[in-house]
Structure formats: structure tokens, C-alpha cells
């Protein structure tokens, strides 16, 4: 049973190590250089494959743990006990995979401990976070007796065994809560999930599909490990599991189609789009076919059919999670997100790593009731190349072979990153709309520790004590988004007409006193080079003007040419909080968001510190209010309808 090179197990492990190697290299790059380089994610599509696969599907694969634990301990179907340990182990590793997946996905993973101290009981994500932490602990405790047994700690085993039943009960409760709360997470984002997948019933659908998935997963696990270890599959148990899975799959299928009908979205099934095709594929391959294989008596006689059905339903139900969490979610943002190969490699690598840990446990602990039978030789030609290696650490499948596989994988991983760097396209442009003059409602603080609120209004009459004043609506190209800014009120606060302008307007067109920021900070996210060579050469007299910037012998670069300030000094009056970063070439303006945050948030933060009244002027929601700019987001406090546009300000051509 050792993983000698040349055995099935040895080859499998080498492949797994290879995949782990790829993921490790990509993972290191992800932490050193960030998500932008290693993923196709963006500010608008922040959730993709990792959330869909590692997190949602990882949790779902773990469903086998609670399903089998319930079958054995609650329903007292003792014959399934032989599957229990492996199922609990898989569940545990599934959850570890979830945590690993989250750690690469989170922009600031070092903040992960926060939900333990800062409670947000109204947040679905908060429930998810707690369920993961608690259930991971429960699973570790459920599996602990097996480890203690392996270490021959009889007393510890006896002690831990006493808690088995309460742990199982808590585990089932947590698991059901968690499976469904993952669905809840997407219920609150109706505009984000594609209508083929969005449903108010998502929590229920997630729970039901988790039960079916759990049953199939345990069958798949039993089949693959018997293949690996050359054992006779436990066909009677697999038969039982698949028989139980059939009605669950049927209920799930009916619910999904019924729900689509009830929401009046059945017509979407006839729209020719790749999402429709994908939806049909997901249901057909993942649910309908396995359902037939599991339930038709003539088919059930063939064991292979049951095995194939189990594999298909696992694939289909995992796909469901990927679709809701990743693809349909991303499709909603209209960005056409396609996961990068580097992203995929991390997902696959995490699964491979968990499989290696699983095999390690299987070989060293009693995960199955009887010890696995010794493996017979299995030698496809290509493994002959490496089969001469001596075995040092048997669990590694031949340490040297594994090390070799890992290294090859790591090199391939770096290659993937390199290929991505070479192909990386410019970010999609998001041109800034010019600021618009609007009427806004100034609502005075309703309690101590809050500041004035600004809301868009459709009416010229303000309900007292609110007043109507003119403001700027500034924002990106999307309707319904944007930030309200009381331009005049801020001017007054900062010294009035003559003085205040330079506090914010730091660079201007020639002869201007205060140029609209959008004239230079032209893209919401990307930087813009404001320098136009052509225009300067023309304005400065063509060939006669070259010397004004290019001294003889000087390099024809930005650094080598006459500094911009020499001619633009009078226009460039740096305002507070807008100090240029020395790392960018002269004249390259940061994205609009960074420019605005650099100006607004910096000053508001100072104001927060100065007043220390807890009004939170630098918190996101102070400026980005739901409903403040036309009622985007649910439950917004702003009035609906079209905003009153007073005028549209001009921009630089």
C-alpha cells in the first residue's frame, strides 16, 4: 500500500504534487504582486472562480460529512459506519480548502480574524464566517479520535468518544445553517446574479443540493479510493447511497424548474445565449442523467452506471455552486469574466493538496475499518523512467519523484504567470462623466454624532428642517451611481470664493483658475497621461519650439526635458492633500477614484480626528449612500424618480 513510484498510488501522488507545485508558485506571486496579475477579477467583478469553486463547492463537497454522520448516528443505519470516518475526513479537508481559498481571494487576508471581535449580526457574510469557524472546529473534534487512536492514546480516545453524539448534532445543525446561508449570500444581490440562477429560494436550493451532493460525494470517494488501493468497492453501500440520492435530486430538479416558472423566467430557456446553454448543460448532465441512472431499475443493475451517475451528479452540483457564486454572478456585472489559468491552477492545486493530505491520513490512520489491501504493481510505460528511485518517505510516493513533480509544477506555474504578464491587456476603460449640477436636500443631523446628509431630490420644496441647495453629482459613467458633493458649502468652509479654490484645484488648464478634475483624471480606475507631445509641439511653434523643451544633448524623456512647471507653474498650484507621488512620470494623472479619495477622504479623515465625535466622515457610506444618487441599492433613504439636473458642466476636449 505504500506509494512506491510505479504503483497507481505513486503515479497519482506525483500528479497531485505537480498540481500543488503549480499552485504554490502562482500563490507566491499572488501574495507578492497582488490579485491583478494572477486573476481576471476586477473591482466590478470581485468574486469569481475562487469563491464559486473553492468556497461554495468546497463547502458542498463537505456535505458528505453531515449526511453520513446523520445516517449513522441519528438514523442508526449502522452499515454505513464504515464510510463515516472517510466522510468526516473529507468534510474537514473540504473546509480547510474553503479557508485556503478564502485566504488567497481576500484582498487583505490578515483581517480575517475580525468577525470574531467585530459583530455584524445583520450580515449574511457574518453568519457564513461563524459557521465556517465553528464547523471546522467541530469536524476537527469529530475526527480527533481517529488521530488519537493512531497515536495510541487510549485515554484521549475514550475521552473524545464521549462527545461524539453532541458533536454530531451540533455539526448537523451548523452544516444545514451554513449550506443555506451560502445561498442567502446571493439572495441579497438580485442585480448581481443572472436571472436563470437567481432565486429567493437559493438557501433551500443550496441545502437540498448539498444533501444530494453529499450522498454522491461519499460514493465517489469510496469508488476512487478503492481504485487507488485496489480494494473491491463497497457496492452495496454505493447502491444505498445512490438510491437515497435519487429522490433528493428529483426534488431539487422540480424546485429549480418550478422556481424558474414561478418567477416568470422560463422564456429565458429559449433565448439563444451561452448562459442558457450552460444552464441546460448543468441541469442535464448534473441532475437529469444521474437521476435516470440512479432510478431506472434496468440501469441500476449495472454497477458502472451507478458510479458514473455519482461522478456526474458531483460534477453537476459543484457546477451549480460555481455558476451561482462565480459565473452567473460575474455575468451580472457585464464584464465577461473568464477565469485566468493562474486562477484555475490555484483552485486545482488546493484540491490536490487536500487529496494528498487525505491519502496521508489513509495510509497512517485507520480511516477505513479494515486496513487497505496491499497495492499490486501497476506500470504504465512512462513511469518506468522514474521507477528506479529508492523510496525514502513512502507517503510521498517516493520523495524524489514527488520533489521532482513539485519542482516541475512550480516552474510551470511561473510560466503561467509569465504568459499572463505578456498577454495582459489594458484595463477596460471607464470614462468619467463630467460633474452635473443638481438640486440636493440637506438633511440636518437627527442625532448627536452624525453630520448633515445630502440626498438627491425631485422637489423644489423641502420638508423642514431640510433645505434645498445646489450640489455637484460627481461619478463614473454608470447611471444611478455617483457621489453628491456640496461644492458651494465646501468653498465656504475653506475660506470662500477667492481663497478656497487652490485647496482642491491643484492643476489647471492654462489661464484657468479651477479646472474640473474630470478634465485630467479622465478614467475612473486607470491613469491618464495628460501630456500631448503633438499639441505642445504645435503650440510652441513647431520645429522652432523644440529647443524650449529639448536642450542639446539632453535625453528626450520626461526627466530630460524642461520640467512641466517651468511653463505651467502658474497653473499648478498644489492643493492640500494632493501631493503628487514621485513614482509616476510627470503629467500622468491618477484615476478619478484615486483623485477623489486622495482629496475628499484625506480631509474628512482629518476632520474625524479633529472633532472625534464618531460621525465617521471618512467611512464609505458617508459619501456612497444607498439611494443618494438615484436610488441604487435596496432600502435606500433617497427619494425615487429622476434627479433634478440643473446643468451639465463642460469638460476639456
Closest CA to 20 of 360, 521, 448, 390: 360
Rounded distance between C-alpha atoms, residue 53 and residue 344, angstroms:
9
Question: What cell does 135 get?
Answer: 464547523
In the complex with ligand HEC, the residue whose CB is nearer, 247 or 449, is 449
Residue of the chain from 539, 554, 645, 646 that contacts ligand HEC (CB under 6 A): 539
Nearer to ligand HEC, 414 or 514 (CB): 514
Q: Which is nearer to ligand HEC, 2 or 437 (CB)?
A: 437
Q: How far apart are alpha carbons 258 and 250 in whole angstroms? A: 12
| Contact flag: residue 491 with ligand HEC (CB under 6 A) | yes
Distance between CA atoms of 454 and 625, rounded to whole angstroms? 9
The residue among 95 and 622 lying less far from ligand HEC, judged by its C-beta, is 622
Q: Does 592 bind ligand HEC (CB under 6 A)?
A: yes
- C-alpha cell read off for 518: 474630470
According to the binding rule CB under 6 A, does residue 500 interact with ligand HEC? Answer: yes
The closest alpha carbon to 29, from 360, 400, 410, 368, belongs to 410
Q: Which is nearer to ligand HEC, 8 or 507 (CB)?
A: 507
Distance CA(179)–CA(174), nearest Å, equals 8
639, 640, 642, 646 alpha-carbon torsion, rounded to 10°: 10
Choosing from 45, 618, 627, 632, the residue that interacts with ligand HEC (CB under 6 A) is 618
Cα 3 to Cα 405: distance, rounded to the nearest angstrom: 14
456 binds ligand HEC (CB under 6 A): no
Selected range binding ligand HEC among 68-76, 120-128, 326-334, 601-609, rule: CB under 6 A: 601-609
257 binds ligand HEC (CB under 6 A): no
Place of cell 452624525: 450
- 636 binds ligand HEC, rule: CB under 6 A: no
- To ligand HEC, the closest distance from the beta carbon of 470 in angstroms equals 9
- Name which position in 141, 189, 289, 489 contacts ligand HEC (CB under 6 A): 489
Q: With respect to ligand HEC, which residue has the nearer C-beta, 424 or 533?
A: 533
CB atoms within 10 A of CB 230: 16
Dig out the grid coordinates for 350 from the structure: 488546493
Closest approach, Cβ 475 to ligand HEC, in A, equals: 3
Block residue for cell numbers 448543468: 282
**Is 419 or 572 the residue whose CB approaches ligand HEC more closely?**
572
Query: Given the complex with ligand HEC, which of 14 and 472 has the nearer CB atom?
Result: 472
Site for ligand HEC in 503-532 (CB under 6 A): 503-510, 513-521, 524, 530-531
Separation CA 362–CA 368 (nearest Å)? 8
User: Smallest distance from the beta carbon of 625 to ligand HEC, in angstroms?
Assistant: 8
476 binds ligand HEC (CB under 6 A): yes
Distances (CA, A) of 367 to 90, 145, 155, 360, 371: 11, 11, 19, 10, 8
Stretch that binds ligand HEC, among 13-21, 252-260, 311-319, 467-475 (CB under 6 A): 467-475
Candidate list 243, 263, 400, 481; residue touching ligand HEC; CB under 6 A: 481
Q: Tell which positions 14-43 bind ligand HEC, by CB under 6 A.
A: 43
224 binds ligand HEC (CB under 6 A): no
Joined grid coordinates for residue 5:
513510484
> In angstroms, rounded to a whole number, what is the distance separating the alpha carbons of residues 492 and 549?
40
Per CB under 6 A, does 607 bind ligand HEC? yes
Q: Which is nearer to ligand HEC, 275 or 626 (CB)?
A: 626
- Only one of the segments 84-92, 184-192, 319-327, 448-456 lies at the binding site for ligand HEC (rule: CB under 6 A); that segment is 448-456
The footprint of ligand HEC on this chain (CB under 6 A) covers a number of residues equal to: 97
Stretch that binds ligand HEC, among 106-114, 269-277, 311-319, 492-500 (CB under 6 A): 492-500
Asked if 449 and 613 count as a contact pair (C-beta separation under 8 A), the reply is: yes
Query: What does the buried/exposed string (b/e) look like for 623-638 if buried means 16 or more CB atoms within 10 Å of the residue's CB?
Result: bbbebbbbbbeeebeb
- Applying CB under 6 A, among 27, 409, 482, 643 the residue interacting with ligand HEC is 482
Rounded to whole angstroms, the Cα distance separating 189 from 300 reads 41
* Nearest alpha-carbon partner for 37 in 346, 319, 269: 346
The whole-angstrom separation of Cα 196 and Cα 110 is 36
Q: What part of residues 37-76 is at the interface with ligand HEC (CB under 6 A)?
A: 43
Q: Which stretch binds ligand HEC (CB under 6 A): 184-192, 370-378, 380-388, 611-619?
A: 611-619
Asked if 84 is part of the footprint of ligand HEC (rule: CB under 6 A), the reply reads: no
Residues 143 and 92 sit within 8 Å (Cβ to Cβ): yes
Which residue sits closest to ligand HEC, CB atoms considered?
Answer: 587
What distance in Å separates the CA atoms of residue 596 and residue 476, rounded to the nearest whole number?
11
Member of 311, 594, 631, 633 binding ligand HEC (CB under 6 A): 594
Minimum CB separation from ligand HEC for residue 107, in Å?
Answer: 11
How far apart CA 169 and CA 178 sit, in angstroms, is 14
Task: Output b/e per residue, 348-375; b: 16+ Cβ within 10 A.
Answer: bbbbbbbbbebbebbbebebbeeebeeb
Spatial distance between the Cα atoms of 356 and 353, rounded to a whole number of angstroms: 5
Which of 239, 575 has the CB closer to ligand HEC? 575
Residue numbers 559-588 binding ligand HEC by CB under 6 A: 561-562, 564, 566-568, 578, 580-581, 586-588
Q: Is 596 in the site for ligand HEC (CB under 6 A)?
A: yes
Residue holding cell 464504515? 82
Report residue 474 CA to chain centroid gap.
29
Query: By CB under 6 A, is residue 425 in contact with ligand HEC?
Result: no
Q: Interface with ligand HEC includes 235 (CB under 6 A)?
A: no
Q: Is 411 in the site for ligand HEC (CB under 6 A)?
A: no
Determine if 438 is a binding residue for ligand HEC (CB under 6 A): no
Rounded CA-CA distance 26/46 in Å is 19
Choose which of 599, 608, 632, 638 interacts with ligand HEC (CB under 6 A).
599
Alpha-carbon distance of 480 to 476, in angstroms, equals: 10
Least distance in angstroms from the C-beta of 561 to ligand HEC = 4
Amino acid at each position: 500500500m505504500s506509494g512506491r513510484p510505479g504503483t497507481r498510488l505513486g503515479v497519482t501522488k506525483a500528479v497531485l504534487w505537480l498540481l500543488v507545485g503549480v499552485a504554490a508558485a502562482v500563490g507566491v506571486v499572488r501574495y507578492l504582486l497582488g490579485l491583478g496579475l494572477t486573476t481576471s477579477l476586477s473591482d466590478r467583478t470581485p468574486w469569481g472562480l475562487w469563491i464559486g469553486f473553492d468556497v461554495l463547492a468546497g463547502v458542498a463537497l463537505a456535505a458528505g460529512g453531515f449526511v453520513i454522520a446523520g445516517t449513522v448516528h441519528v438514523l442508526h443505519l449502522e452499515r454505513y459506519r464504515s464510510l463515516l470516518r472517510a466522510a468526516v475526513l473529507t468534510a474537514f479537508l473540504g473546509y480547510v480548502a474553503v479557508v485556503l481559498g478564502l485566504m488567497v481571494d481576500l484582498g487583505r487576508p490578515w483581517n480575517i480574524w475580525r468577525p470574531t471581535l467585530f459583530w455584524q449580526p445583520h450580515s449574511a457574510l457574518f453568519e457564513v464566517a461563524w459557521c465556517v469557524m465553528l464547523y471546522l472546529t467541530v469536524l476537527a473534534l469529530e475526527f480527533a479520535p481517529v488521530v488519537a487512536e493512531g497515536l495510541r492514546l487510549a485515554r484521549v480516545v475514550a475521552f473524545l468518544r464521549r462527545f461524539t453524539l453532541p458533536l454530531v448534532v451540533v455539526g448537523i445543525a451548523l452544516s444545514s445553517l451554513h449550506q443555506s446561508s451560502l445561498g442567502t449570500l446571493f439572495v441579497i444581490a438580485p442585480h448581481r446574479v443572472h436571472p436563470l440562477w437567481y432565486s429567493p429560494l437559493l438557501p433551500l436550493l443550496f441545502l437540498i443540493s448539498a444533501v444530494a451532493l453529499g450522498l454522491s460525494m461519499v460514493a465517489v470517494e469510496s469508488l476512487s479510493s478503492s481504485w487507488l488501493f485496489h480494494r473491491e468497492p463497497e457496492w452495496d453501500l454505493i447502491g444505498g447511497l445512490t438510491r437515497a440520492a435519487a429522490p433528493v435530486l428529483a426534488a431539487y430538479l422540480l424546485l429549480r424548474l418550478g422556481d424558474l416558472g414561478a418567477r416568470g423566467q422560463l422564456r429565458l430557456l429559449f433565448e439563444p445565449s451561452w448562459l442558457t446553454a450552460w444552464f441546460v448543460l448543468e441541469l442535464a448532465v448534473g441532475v437529469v442523467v444521474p437521476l435516470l441512472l440512479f432510478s431506472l431499475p434496468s440501469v441500476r443493475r449495472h454497477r458502472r452506471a451507478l458510479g458514473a451517475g455519482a461522478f456526474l451528479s458531483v460534477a453537476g452540483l459543484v457546477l451549480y455552486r460555481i455558476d451561482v457564486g462565480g459565473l452567473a454572478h460575474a455575468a451580472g456585472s457585464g464584464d465577461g469574466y473568464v477565469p485566468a489559468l493562474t486562477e484555475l491552477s490555484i483552485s486545482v492545486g488546493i484540491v490536490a493538496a487536500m487529496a494528498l493530505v487525505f491519502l496521508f491520513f489513509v495510509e497512517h490512520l485507520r480511516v477505513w475499518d479494515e486496513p487497505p489491501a496491499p497495492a499490486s504493481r501497476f506500470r504504465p510505460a512512462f513511469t518506468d523512467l522514474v521507477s528506479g528511485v529508492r523510496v525514502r518517505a513512502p507517503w510521498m510516493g517516493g520523495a524524489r519523484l514527488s520533489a521532482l513533480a513539485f519542482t516541475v509544477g512550480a516552474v510551470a506555474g511561473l510560466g503561467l504567470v509569465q504568459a499572463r504578464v505578456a498577454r495582459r491587456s489594458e484595463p477596460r476603460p471607464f470614462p468619467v462623466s463630467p460633474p452635473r449640477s443638481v438640486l440636493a436636500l440637506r438633511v440636518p443631523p437627527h442625532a448627536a454624532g452624525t453630520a448633515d446628509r445630502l440626498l438627491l431630490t425631485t422637489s423644489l420644496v423641502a420638508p423642514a428642517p431640510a433645505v434645498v441647495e445646489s450640489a455637484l453629482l460627481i461619478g463614473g459613467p454608470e447611471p444611478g451611481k455617483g457621489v453628491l458633493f456640496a461644492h458651494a458649502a465646501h468653498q465656504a468652509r475653506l475660506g470662500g470664493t477667492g481663497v478656497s479654490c487652490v485647496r482642491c484645484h491643484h492643476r489647471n488648464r492654462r489661464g484657468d483658475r479651477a479646472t474640473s478634475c474630470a478634465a485630467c483624471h479622465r478614467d475612473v480606475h486607470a491613469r491618464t497621461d495628460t501630456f500631448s507631445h503633438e499639441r505642445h509641439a504645435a503650440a510652441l511653434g513647431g520645429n522652432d519650439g523644440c529647443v524650449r523643451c529639448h536642450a542639446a544633448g539632453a535625453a528626450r524623456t520626461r526627466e530630460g526635458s524642461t520640467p512641466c512647471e517651468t511653463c505651467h507653474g502658474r497653473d499648478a498650484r498644489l492643493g492640500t492633500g494632493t501631493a503628487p507621488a514621485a513614482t509616476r512620470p510627470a503629467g500622468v494623472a491618477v484615476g478619478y477614484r484615486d483623485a477623489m479619495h486622495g482629496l475628499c477622504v484625506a480631509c474628512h479623515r482629518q476632520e474625524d480626528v479633529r472633532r472625534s465625535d464618531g460621525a465617521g466622515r471618512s467611512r464609505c457610506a458617508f459619501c456612497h449612500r444607498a439611494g443618494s444618487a438615484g436610488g441604487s441599492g435596496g432600502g435606500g433613504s433617497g427619494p425615487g424618480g429622476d434627479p433634478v439636473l440643473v446643468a451639465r458642466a463642460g469638460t476639456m476636449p
